[in-house]
Amino acid sequence: MSPMAEQWEIVGLTLEIALGAILLCLPGAIALAWLLVRTRFPGKFMIDALVHAPLVLPPVAVGYLLLLLFGTRAPLGHWLLETFGIRLVFTTKGAVLAEAVMSFPLVVRGVRLSLDALDPGLELAGRTLGASRWNVFWTITLPLILPGILSGSIVGFARALGEFGATITFASNIEGETRTLPLALYTATQSAQGDDLALRLVTLSMLLALAALALSGWLERRLRVLLGQALHP
């Protein structure tokens, strides 16, 4: 494989894993954000702290905790392997899980900010008209918080693009399997002839991250305009 083809393979794998991570964590992030904003229950503070733990823990520590939970001899990992034949450690699926865990707090935060800004009176109006809480969520809440969902997802996606510590600890650095851009960059810096490759990979990483953030801002503004027009025709 030519060096150029190898680089694009790395980029493709990086995008695939980051997208998979966001799709994996998005439903749980929306549900948990709604739970934290709209309900009260004992232990809410602890749940909130656990959600944000990946932001303050060393990523290697997160990867190690994933090994303890999903390694082939760990409780959950052994059960998944024996029951469904799913092995997460040192696989692409494991890299998706590691990046999902690291991106999860950012997605939750984006959704929470949007929920906090949403007027509860709109939801209450739906309930007083006879709609169930579930129907209110799908027809009123979810459409109105789409900008926050989109913003949180793209910021989380950008975070996943640059994830290193948890991924290399849990999924290792396997060419064609788990070697994303950050891991490929690390590999290049360990080689005496890897300076040119490292520079190209840094450039690609910066372009991808900046494009994701710019797209996030543009789409969020666009959605807010469309929602404003829908609410105030």
Per residue in 195-205, pLDDT tens? 888 888 888 88
Contacts of 192 (CB under 8 A, 6+ apart): none
Cα(205)–Cα(210) distance, rounded to whole angstroms?
9
Cα(26)–Cα(146) distance, rounded to whole angstroms?
12
The CA-atom distances, in angstroms, between 66 and each of 6, 97, 129, 224 are: 29, 9, 46, 37
Boundaries of every domain in the chain = 3-225
Cα(156)–Cα(19) distance, rounded to whole angstroms?
10
Per residue in 112-163, pLDDT tens? 988 888 877 777 887 787 777 788 888 888 888 888 898 889 889 989 988 9
Percent of the chain with pLDDT over 70: 94
Among 14, 51, 3, smallest CA distance to 197 is for 3
CATH class of 3-225: mainly alpha
Per residue in 150-173, pLDDT tens? 888 988 998 998 899 999 999 999
Q: Is residue 99 over pLDDT 90?
A: yes
Bin 173: left if φ > 0, else alpha if -120 < ψ < 50, else beta: beta
Cα(157)–Cα(138) distance, rounded to whole angstroms?
24
